Amino acid sequence: MRPWSGPKLIGAWEAPIVLLSAYLLGMALLLASGFIDLRNARETEASSLNVSRTLETMEKLRQIGNTLFIAETSQRGFIITGNADYLQTYRDMQQRIPVRLAEIDHLVGTAGTQHDSVDRMRALAKVKFDEMDQTLDAYRVAGQPGAIARVIQDDAIGSMTKLREVIRTMLDEESRLLAERRVVAAASYSAGLSRALVSTAIVALALTAFFLLMHRFLRQRDAALAIAESSNAELEQRVIDRTADLSDLSRHLLDVREQEKKSIARDLHDEFGSYLTAINMDVSRARDKIAATNPEQAAKLERTLGLLGSAIEMKRQLISDLRPSMLDNLGLGAALEQYIDEWSRRTGITATFDHDGELVSAEEGCPISIFRVFQEALTNIAKHSGASRVAAHVYRVGDEIEFEIADDGVGLSDADRAKPGVHGLLGIRERVLAYRGRVDFAKGNDGRGTVIRGSMPCQVSGEDPLPPRPYALDFA
């Protein structure tokens, strides 16, 4: 890439300072714009709150008028019909009036003519309810005629008319305040909008200057980036080479570990096995010798023979886990077939297995690695999957051995596959990759269970390999 040849506005060492200054200026302008917007929002909120309070006050005044009307109507309904439901409604309205008046008192504040009107309304409401209570007392004493006479007298006094006049006056005042507050709110909104537009324009200019400086700075950095890209390519190649070295080391460590297991298995078979066999023979002879003369001791020796038999079986199982002898003698297919049969009997999980003959290889690493993959996979299935059936196969395809293990268990979620603590899956993956193979963990048919598919380069003796074949496990 050809370096920039035009006039340089910013030197290499000056660029960070200029960009930082432009950035700080832009941030300062953004903060100032934010404060202006906050002020506008508060003013608009205050204006809206005043309008809302006025509308709420008007609604409360209408509610008081309705409450007084219902109270008066219910009181007269009781006098006319004697129905106690009217009296209950009257008492409910009588209790609501002080609550409504307190709400209006809170809305209009403690100063001004509206507060005085609330006090007057409270006094008139008390007078009105005293009159209606006296009417009810007259009803109880003199019956309906006495109550009607009292109602006529109360109407002459006109306390209800005075209450309505106070409410009407307050509504007129609130209407006037509402109009004024709406004008103030509109003016506040317009002023805030103007301030916001001005601050936004200033911030936009500052950001434009900042991005122009950034653009120039980036163009000056093109040459440095080209050098960095070249260095990155070199580093990537080093990482690739180092990864290959680590893979070779991992494969070597796996081979060493398998050789150690093989050696331990041989020692267990040759040395420890001969000791157990000799002990078993001596104990058997001792039991037979004293069986007639000391049956009690003979019974103890019989139990000892049982324990020796268990120890011999445990020794055999340990040797099989360390290094299955069938793998060296009869090949991978036969060794896996025997192992899967024993695993199925031990766990109670139905298992089917298919393979291409013996699959004997001169390489030690490939067959034992695939065998270990099956061991780890079947252990995970028995512990975690809850499966009832397992199907597996090992096929030779060209110079590779392909394998597949599937179950009908609970399956493996994406989160489980990505979980760092899932060492079983990690061990399978690392073992296969160490021998330049590939492996994949997927969901089974219809999203049920888990399928492990993989392949590994492996030179296998025997007949020509079979052509690749599709293999789908179906538990339906």
pLDDT in tens, 443-455: 877 778 889 999 9
**Average pLDDT of the residues of the chain:** 77
Q: Report residue 334's pLDDT band, with 50, 70 and 90 as the boundaries.
A: confident
- Of residues 357 and 340, more confidently modeled: 340
**Cβ partners under 8 Å of residue 34, min gap 6:** none
Q: pLDDT of 194-228, one tens digit each?
A: 877 777 787 777 777 767 767 776 777 677 677 77
Lowest mean pLDDT among 103-107, 323-327, 467-471: 467-471
Confidence check: pLDDT of 430 > 80 = yes
Lowest mean pLDDT among 67-76, 308-317, 462-471: 462-471
Alpha-carbon span 27 to 206, nearest angstrom: 9
Q: In what order do the strands lie in the sheet with 350-355?
A: 350-355, 389-397, 400-407, 450-457, 438-443
Residue carrying the six token digits 């597949």: 404
Report in angstroms the alpha-carbon separations of 449 from 411, 416, 424, 443, 444. Answer: 4, 13, 16, 6, 5
Q: What is the pLDDT of residue 347?
A: 92
Alpha-carbon span 88 to 163, nearest angstrom: 23
Alpha-carbon span 349 to 384, nearest angstrom: 13
Alpha-carbon span 454 to 438, nearest angstrom: 5
pTM, full prediction: 0.45
The predicted model gives 427-438 an average pLDDT of 85
Alpha-carbon span 88 to 162, nearest angstrom: 25
Q: Beta strands 400-407 and 389-397: pairing type?
A: antiparallel
Per-range mean pLDDT, top range of 379-383, 429-433, 459-463: 379-383
Residue carrying the six token digits 């393979």: 355
- Of residues 103 and 26, more confidently modeled: 103
Q: Are 188 and 44 in contact (CB under 8 A)?
A: yes
Rounded (to 5) percent helix, strand, coil in the chain: 75, 10, 15
Q: What is the pLDDT of residue 422?
A: 53
Q: What is the pLDDT of residue 470?
A: 45
Lowest mean pLDDT among 239-253, 274-288, 308-322: 239-253
Q: Are 124 and 163 in contact (CB under 8 A)?
A: yes
Confidence check: pLDDT of 473 > 80 = no
- Of 375, 371, 319, 326, which Cα lies nearest the Cα of 346? 375
Q: What is the pLDDT of residue 471?
A: 44
Q: pLDDT of 140-175, one tens digit each?
A: 888 888 887 777 776 545 777 888 888 888 888 888
Alpha-carbon span 408 to 238, nearest angstrom: 44
Q: What is the pLDDT of residue 406?
A: 92
Alpha-carbon span 442 to 412, nearest angstrom: 8
- Of residues 218 and 336, more confidently modeled: 336
